[in-house]
């Protein structure tokens, strides 16, 4: 049992170190995938499109760097900026969303990439604290399992 807990502890430790070392690559991949999701955005029930809409609605942002990122997409030429960027769903008309100057007043202007990464970085201390707590419990479990094993082994020799 102690060896199994040690193995799990080492796997979690390696994952944390790898995540810390490659955090810049993770950001770069997230930005490129967000750009790709914008390029392939459509109104069908596509998971990537739903993810973009959810991010934009939840974080009150629009596009990758800002709302003008939508102007380079095929979706913009057909329907304008998506409704998930709108500050107020009742005040967003399709004709306004097709005109970047009018849309600037009706949509969130901040980009999602900065908001997502800053939100993740602000929550990292909470994740690190919880991870440290779990690691402490694992180490206590390893120590107690070793003590139990030693106790059982010592008692077998005393019975004879």
| Domains of the chain (ranges, CATH numbers) | 1-158 (1.10.1450.10)
End-to-end CA distance of the chain: 27
What is the share, in percent, of the chain residues with pLDDT greater than 90?
A: 11
CA 62 from chain center: how many Å? 17
Contacts for 160 with CB less than 8 Å, ≥ 6 apart: none
Q: Read off φ and ψ for residue 110, nearest 5 degrees.
A: -75, 145
Is 64 within 8 Å of 76 (Cβ atoms)?
Answer: no
Q: Which pTM was predicted?
A: 0.67
Residue 45 predicted with pLDDT over 70: no
Taking the C-alpha atoms of residue 85 and residue 116, their distance in angstroms, rounded to an integer, is 15
Residues 63-82 have pLDDT tens digits of 899 888 898 888 888 888 88
**Which residues are registered as beta bridge partners of 66?**
110
Residue 144 predicted with pLDDT over 90: yes
Contacts for 41 with CB less than 8 Å, ≥ 6 apart: 48, 49, 52, 73, 75, 82
Mean per-residue pLDDT, 43-55: 81
Beta-carbon count within 10 A of 99 CB: 12
What is the model's pLDDT at position 44? 63
Element (H, E) at 57: helix 47-59
Residue 125 predicted with pLDDT over 70: yes
Q: Which residue has the tokens 């979706």?
A: 75
Residue 159 predicted with pLDDT over 60: no
Taking the C-alpha atoms of residue 110 and residue 70, their distance in angstroms, rounded to an integer, is 12
What is the share, in percent, of the chain residues with pLDDT greater than 70?
A: 95
């Amino acid at each position: 049992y102690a060896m199994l807990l040690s193995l799990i502890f080492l796997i979690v430790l390696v994952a944390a170190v790898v995540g810390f070392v490659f955090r810049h690559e993770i950001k770069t991949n997230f930005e490129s995938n967000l750009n790709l999701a914008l390029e392939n955005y459509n109104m069908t029930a596509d998971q990537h499109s739903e993810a973009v809409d959810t991010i934009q609605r939840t974080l009150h942002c629009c596009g990758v760097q800002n709302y003008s990122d939508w102007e380079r997409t095929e979706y913009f030429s057909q329907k304008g900026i998506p409704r998930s960027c709108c500050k107020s769903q009742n005040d967003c008309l399709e004709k306004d969303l097709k005109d970047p100057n009018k849309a600037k007043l009706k949509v969130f202007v901040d980009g999602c990439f900065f908001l997502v990464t800053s939100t993740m970085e602000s929550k990292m201390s909470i994740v690190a604290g919880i991870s440290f707590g779990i690691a402490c419990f694992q180490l206590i479990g390893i120590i107690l399992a070793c003590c139990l094993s030693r106790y059982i082994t010592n008692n077998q020799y005393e019975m004879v």
